[in-house]
Amino acid sequence: MDGPRYDGLIEQWKIELIEGCARRMGFPAHEIDDLKQDIVPELIAFKFDDVKSNGAKKSTAVQALIMNQLRNKQRGCAREHTKIERYKQLMPRTTDACFSKAQCELDVQEAMDALKPSDRIICNHLANGDSIEGIRKQVGCGWHTIDRAVRRLRARFQKLELDGWLGQ
């Protein structure tokens, strides 16, 4: 593959492992370079510890890290697909109208741009599937504050018929 090069940053066997695992998991060839760009920083930051490894080899731990990252990417893609399908069902039917992912994303982006910065942050966390408790910890405010913001966002997106993007 002619893609990004990681000479001196990471061993070549790790790059080959990412490519092989991604192919076996059914990722299209055109996405593999992007996957490598997402996973390589995780591998660079990874520190293998013999004491905590329970007898596993470094290569086994690296493969587990890669597989976890790839599964997370698959789950993210599945969530995105579910959001689009949910949004399709919420859209009013018109004759010969073709649903466009780009138009859907544009509608959501316009709605996001109109939000206050704090609500935009919370909305991004919701779109990523984070829980209220998880958002609370990351944002650094109370549970009730996040809950009120979520209710406000849900009402706003329902009014715009975009609430399928917020999840359940």
Distance between alpha carbon 47 and the CA centroid of its chain, in Å? Answer: 24
CA-wise closest residue to 67 among 28, 14, 31: 14
Please tell me the predicted confidence (pLDDT) of residue 21. 93
Residue 38 in contact with residue 16, Cβ under 8 Å? no
- As a whole number of angstroms, the distance between CA 159 and CA 61 comes to 47
Domain of residue 156, CATH code: 1.10.10
Give CA–CA dist 83/76, Å, rounded.
11
3-state secondary structure of 140: coil
How many CB atoms within 10 Å of residue 77?
12
How many residues make up the chain in this entry? 168
Domain annotation covers residue 5: no
Which amino acid, 112?
M
- Of 130, 131, 135, 127, nearest to 164 by C-alpha is 127
Domain that holds residue 162: 96-166
> Taking the mean position of all CA atoms in its chain, how far away is CA 127?
9
Q: Angle, to 10 degrees, between the axis of helix 101-113 and the axis of helix 58-90?
A: 90
Whether 127 and 76 map to the same domain: the answer is no
What is residue 94's predicted lDDT score, i.e. its pLDDT?
Answer: 46
The reported pTM is: 0.52
Looking at the structure of the chain, the number of domains it has is: 2
Residue 97: per-residue pLDDT: 42
Same domain for 73 and 131: no
Q: Give the residues of the chain that fall short of pLDDT 50.
A: 1, 94-98, 168
Of 52, 83, 114, the residue at which a domain comes to its end is 83
Specify if 91 maps to a domain. no
By the 10 Å C-beta count (0-12 exposed, 13-18 middle, 19+ buried), 94 is classed as exposed
Assigned domain for 90 exists: no
In a domain, 1, yes or no: no
142 located within any domain: yes
The confidence score (pLDDT) of residue 20 equals 94
